[in-house]
Amino acid sequence: MALENIILEHEKGIATIFINRPEKLNALNKATILELHETLKTIEENPEVKVIVITGSGEKAFVAGADISEFANFSAKEGAQLAAKGQELLFDFIENMKTPVFAAINGFALGGGLELAMACHFRIASDNAKMGLPETSLGVIPGYGGTQRLPQLVGKGRAMEMIMTAGMIDAQTALNYGLVNHVVPQADLFSTYMTIANKILKNSPVAIGKAIKAVNANYKDGVNGFEIEINKFGECFATADFKEGTTAFLEKRKAEFTGK
Protein backbone atom coordinates (compact mmCIF):
# COMPACT_ATOMS: atom_id res chain seq x y z
CA MET A 1 0.00 0.00 0.00
CA ALA A 2 1.11 3.59 -0.65
CA LEU A 3 2.34 5.31 2.50
CA GLU A 4 0.74 8.72 2.98
CA ASN A 5 1.06 9.21 6.75
CA ILE A 6 4.36 7.53 7.59
CA ILE A 7 7.91 7.52 6.25
CA LEU A 8 9.98 4.32 6.40
CA GLU A 9 13.78 4.31 6.41
CA HIS A 10 15.89 1.14 6.50
CA GLU A 11 19.59 1.14 7.23
CA LYS A 12 21.81 -1.84 8.11
CA GLY A 13 19.19 -3.89 9.93
CA ILE A 14 17.44 -0.93 11.56
CA ALA A 15 14.02 0.22 10.32
CA THR A 16 12.91 3.68 11.44
CA ILE A 17 9.24 4.58 11.08
CA PHE A 18 8.41 8.30 11.16
CA ILE A 19 4.75 9.14 11.77
CA ASN A 20 4.35 12.01 9.34
CA ARG A 21 1.28 14.20 9.87
CA PRO A 22 3.02 17.37 11.09
CA GLU A 23 -0.01 19.58 10.41
CA LYS A 24 -1.94 17.42 12.93
CA LEU A 25 1.04 17.00 15.30
CA ASN A 26 1.21 13.40 13.99
CA ALA A 27 -2.17 12.52 15.50
CA LEU A 28 -3.30 8.95 14.93
CA ASN A 29 -6.24 8.42 12.62
CA LYS A 30 -7.62 5.19 11.15
CA ALA A 31 -5.53 5.49 8.01
CA THR A 32 -2.30 5.96 9.98
CA ILE A 33 -3.07 3.00 12.25
CA LEU A 34 -3.67 0.83 9.19
CA GLU A 35 -0.47 2.04 7.50
CA LEU A 36 1.52 1.32 10.66
CA HIS A 37 0.02 -2.17 10.91
CA GLU A 38 0.75 -3.06 7.30
CA THR A 39 4.28 -1.63 7.49
CA LEU A 40 5.09 -3.44 10.73
CA LYS A 41 3.66 -6.69 9.38
CA THR A 42 5.89 -6.43 6.30
CA ILE A 43 8.93 -5.56 8.40
CA GLU A 44 8.28 -8.49 10.75
CA GLU A 45 8.51 -10.82 7.74
CA ASN A 46 11.78 -9.26 6.54
CA PRO A 47 14.79 -11.14 7.96
CA GLU A 48 17.03 -8.18 7.12
CA VAL A 49 15.34 -6.01 9.77
CA LYS A 50 16.53 -6.72 13.30
CA VAL A 51 15.36 -3.57 15.16
CA ILE A 52 12.45 -1.17 14.66
CA VAL A 53 12.30 2.42 15.93
CA ILE A 54 9.06 4.43 15.90
CA THR A 55 9.28 8.21 16.14
CA GLY A 56 7.49 11.34 14.95
CA SER A 57 8.35 13.73 12.14
CA GLY A 58 9.47 17.18 13.16
CA GLU A 59 10.53 18.48 16.56
CA LYS A 60 7.16 19.11 18.22
CA ALA A 61 5.42 15.77 18.52
CA PHE A 62 5.84 12.03 18.65
CA VAL A 63 2.08 11.56 18.39
CA ALA A 64 -0.14 14.20 20.00
CA GLY A 65 -3.14 11.93 20.49
CA ALA A 66 -5.86 10.44 18.33
CA ASP A 67 -7.73 12.29 15.62
CA ILE A 68 -10.82 13.24 17.68
CA SER A 69 -12.76 14.44 14.66
CA GLU A 70 -13.02 10.84 13.47
CA PHE A 71 -14.98 9.57 16.46
CA ALA A 72 -16.67 12.58 18.10
CA ASN A 73 -20.10 11.38 16.99
CA PHE A 74 -19.66 7.64 17.59
CA SER A 75 -22.19 5.52 19.48
CA ALA A 76 -21.18 3.32 22.42
CA LYS A 77 -20.98 0.30 20.11
CA GLU A 78 -18.89 2.18 17.56
CA GLY A 79 -16.56 3.40 20.30
CA ALA A 80 -15.98 -0.13 21.58
CA GLN A 81 -15.33 -1.33 18.03
CA LEU A 82 -12.83 1.50 17.50
CA ALA A 83 -10.85 0.48 20.58
CA ALA A 84 -10.99 -3.24 19.79
CA LYS A 85 -9.86 -2.79 16.20
CA GLY A 86 -7.07 -0.39 17.13
CA GLN A 87 -5.73 -2.67 19.84
CA GLU A 88 -5.77 -5.65 17.49
CA LEU A 89 -4.23 -3.90 14.49
CA LEU A 90 -1.52 -1.89 16.20
CA PHE A 91 -1.05 -1.79 19.95
CA ASP A 92 -1.27 -5.49 20.81
CA PHE A 93 0.40 -6.28 17.48
CA ILE A 94 3.49 -4.25 18.41
CA GLU A 95 3.68 -5.66 21.91
CA ASN A 96 3.76 -9.22 20.58
CA MET A 97 6.18 -8.73 17.69
CA LYS A 98 9.31 -10.87 17.80
CA THR A 99 11.35 -8.01 16.36
CA PRO A 100 12.22 -5.49 19.09
CA VAL A 101 10.36 -2.21 18.72
CA PHE A 102 11.19 0.89 20.72
CA ALA A 103 9.81 4.39 20.70
CA ALA A 104 11.92 7.52 20.33
CA ILE A 105 9.64 10.15 21.85
CA ASN A 106 10.64 13.45 20.26
CA GLY A 107 7.93 15.75 21.64
CA PHE A 108 4.31 15.44 22.71
CA ALA A 109 3.15 11.85 23.34
CA LEU A 110 -0.44 12.24 24.43
CA GLY A 111 -3.42 9.91 24.51
CA GLY A 112 -3.09 7.42 21.68
CA GLY A 113 0.47 8.64 21.18
CA LEU A 114 1.53 7.64 24.68
CA GLU A 115 -0.41 4.39 24.27
CA LEU A 116 1.57 3.71 21.09
CA ALA A 117 4.84 4.38 22.89
CA MET A 118 3.81 2.13 25.80
CA ALA A 119 2.97 -0.72 23.41
CA CYS A 120 6.60 -0.64 22.24
CA HIS A 121 9.09 -2.80 24.11
CA PHE A 122 10.77 0.24 25.66
CA ARG A 123 11.05 4.00 25.27
CA ILE A 124 13.60 6.80 25.11
CA ALA A 125 12.71 10.49 25.09
CA SER A 126 14.13 13.87 24.17
CA ASP A 127 14.30 16.37 27.01
CA ASN A 128 11.47 18.46 25.53
CA ALA A 129 9.00 15.54 25.52
CA LYS A 130 5.67 15.78 27.33
CA MET A 131 3.56 12.72 28.08
CA GLY A 132 0.03 12.19 29.32
CA LEU A 133 -3.36 10.56 28.91
CA PRO A 134 -5.84 13.46 28.64
CA GLU A 135 -8.88 11.35 27.70
CA THR A 136 -10.91 12.02 30.87
CA SER A 137 -10.90 15.73 29.98
CA LEU A 138 -12.87 14.71 26.87
CA GLY A 139 -15.34 12.55 28.78
CA VAL A 140 -13.77 9.24 27.75
CA ILE A 141 -11.00 6.93 28.96
CA PRO A 142 -7.87 5.62 27.23
CA GLY A 143 -8.99 2.93 24.80
CA TYR A 144 -5.80 1.66 23.20
CA GLY A 145 -4.42 -0.15 26.24
CA GLY A 146 -3.50 2.89 28.32
CA THR A 147 -5.37 1.83 31.47
CA GLN A 148 -3.51 -1.48 31.39
CA ARG A 149 0.02 -0.64 30.29
CA LEU A 150 0.51 2.59 32.25
CA PRO A 151 0.04 0.90 35.68
CA GLN A 152 2.41 -1.88 34.58
CA LEU A 153 5.09 0.70 33.85
CA VAL A 154 4.65 3.35 36.56
CA GLY A 155 2.53 1.66 39.25
CA LYS A 156 -1.18 1.87 40.01
CA GLY A 157 -1.14 5.06 42.06
CA ARG A 158 0.81 7.15 39.57
CA ALA A 159 -1.25 5.78 36.69
CA MET A 160 -4.49 6.64 38.49
CA GLU A 161 -3.27 10.19 39.10
CA MET A 162 -2.14 10.70 35.50
CA ILE A 163 -5.44 9.38 34.11
CA MET A 164 -7.71 11.19 36.56
CA THR A 165 -5.96 14.56 36.32
CA ALA A 166 -5.53 14.25 32.53
CA GLY A 167 -2.28 16.17 33.04
CA MET A 168 1.08 16.00 31.32
CA ILE A 169 4.41 15.01 32.82
CA ASP A 170 7.79 16.12 31.52
CA ALA A 171 10.55 13.83 30.32
CA GLN A 172 12.50 13.85 33.59
CA THR A 173 9.39 12.88 35.56
CA ALA A 174 8.71 10.12 33.03
CA LEU A 175 12.26 8.88 33.60
CA ASN A 176 11.80 8.97 37.39
CA TYR A 177 8.53 7.04 37.01
CA GLY A 178 10.15 4.36 34.84
CA LEU A 179 7.95 5.28 31.88
CA VAL A 180 11.02 5.91 29.71
CA ASN A 181 14.49 4.36 29.90
CA HIS A 182 16.57 7.37 28.85
CA VAL A 183 16.21 11.13 28.43
CA VAL A 184 18.62 12.97 26.13
CA PRO A 185 18.84 16.41 24.50
CA GLN A 186 16.67 16.51 21.38
CA ALA A 187 19.75 16.98 19.20
CA ASP A 188 21.11 13.67 20.53
CA LEU A 189 17.94 11.60 20.15
CA PHE A 190 18.84 10.11 16.76
CA SER A 191 22.40 9.17 17.74
CA THR A 192 21.18 7.72 21.03
CA TYR A 193 18.55 5.48 19.51
CA MET A 194 20.96 4.34 16.80
CA THR A 195 23.53 3.46 19.47
CA ILE A 196 20.95 1.38 21.37
CA ALA A 197 19.72 -0.24 18.14
CA ASN A 198 23.27 -1.21 17.18
CA LYS A 199 23.81 -2.82 20.58
CA ILE A 200 20.69 -4.92 20.01
CA LEU A 201 21.95 -5.86 16.52
CA LYS A 202 24.96 -7.62 18.06
CA ASN A 203 22.75 -10.20 19.81
CA SER A 204 20.75 -13.20 18.63
CA PRO A 205 17.48 -12.16 16.94
CA VAL A 206 15.89 -15.51 17.69
CA ALA A 207 16.81 -15.27 21.38
CA ILE A 208 15.50 -11.70 21.57
CA GLY A 209 12.19 -12.79 20.05
CA LYS A 210 11.84 -15.57 22.63
CA ALA A 211 12.80 -13.17 25.45
CA ILE A 212 10.02 -10.79 24.37
CA LYS A 213 7.47 -13.62 24.56
CA ALA A 214 8.75 -14.71 27.98
CA VAL A 215 8.66 -11.20 29.47
CA ASN A 216 5.20 -10.49 28.04
CA ALA A 217 3.88 -13.75 29.49
CA ASN A 218 4.16 -12.36 33.02
CA TYR A 219 1.51 -9.75 32.18
CA LYS A 220 -1.10 -12.09 30.72
CA ASP A 221 -3.90 -13.44 32.92
CA GLY A 222 -3.88 -17.18 33.40
CA VAL A 223 -0.37 -17.59 31.98
CA ASN A 224 2.54 -18.86 34.06
CA GLY A 225 5.47 -16.72 32.98
CA PHE A 226 8.00 -19.04 34.57
CA GLU A 227 6.73 -21.95 32.48
CA ILE A 228 6.91 -19.87 29.32
CA GLU A 229 10.48 -18.90 30.22
CA ILE A 230 11.44 -22.54 30.73
CA ASN A 231 9.93 -23.48 27.37
CA LYS A 232 11.54 -20.59 25.48
CA PHE A 233 14.87 -21.26 27.19
CA GLY A 234 14.70 -24.86 26.05
CA GLU A 235 13.73 -23.88 22.51
CA CYS A 236 16.90 -21.79 22.24
CA PHE A 237 19.03 -24.93 22.52
CA ALA A 238 17.67 -26.15 19.17
CA THR A 239 18.70 -23.00 17.29
CA ALA A 240 21.73 -22.26 15.14
CA ASP A 241 22.16 -18.99 17.06
CA PHE A 242 22.64 -20.90 20.33
CA LYS A 243 25.29 -23.11 18.77
CA GLU A 244 27.03 -20.10 17.26
CA GLY A 245 26.82 -18.03 20.44
CA THR A 246 28.20 -20.70 22.73
CA THR A 247 30.87 -21.78 20.23
CA ALA A 248 32.00 -18.19 19.74
CA PHE A 249 32.20 -17.69 23.49
CA LEU A 250 34.32 -20.81 23.96
CA GLU A 251 36.53 -19.85 21.02
CA LYS A 252 36.85 -16.29 22.37
CA ARG A 253 35.56 -14.66 19.19
CA LYS A 254 32.64 -12.46 18.19
CA ALA A 255 29.45 -14.36 17.40
CA GLU A 256 27.92 -14.05 13.94
CA PHE A 257 24.22 -14.67 14.44
CA THR A 258 21.91 -15.61 11.57
CA GLY A 259 18.57 -15.42 13.40
CA LYS A 260 17.94 -19.14 12.94
Q: Which one is catalytic: 35, 78, 135, 235? A: 135
Strands 108-110, 61-64: pairing kind:
parallel
Closest CA to 119 of 152, 83, 99, 92: 92
Q: Which one is catalytic: 23, 88, 115, 251? A: 115
Closest CA to 102 of 6, 210, 3, 193: 193
Q: What is the dihedral of CA 246, 247, 252, 257, to 10 degrees?
A: -80
Rounded CA-CA distance 16/19 in Å is: 10
Instruction: Examine the residue annotation and report whether 44 is marked as an active-site residue of this protein.
Output: no
Instruction: Examine the residue annotation and report whether 229 is marked as an active-site residue of this protein.
Output: no
Sheet order of strands, 51-56 included: 6-11, 14-19, 51-56, 101-105, 122-126, 182-184
Q: What angle do CA 201, 100, 80 make, to 5 degrees?
A: 165
Active-site residue set: 115, 135
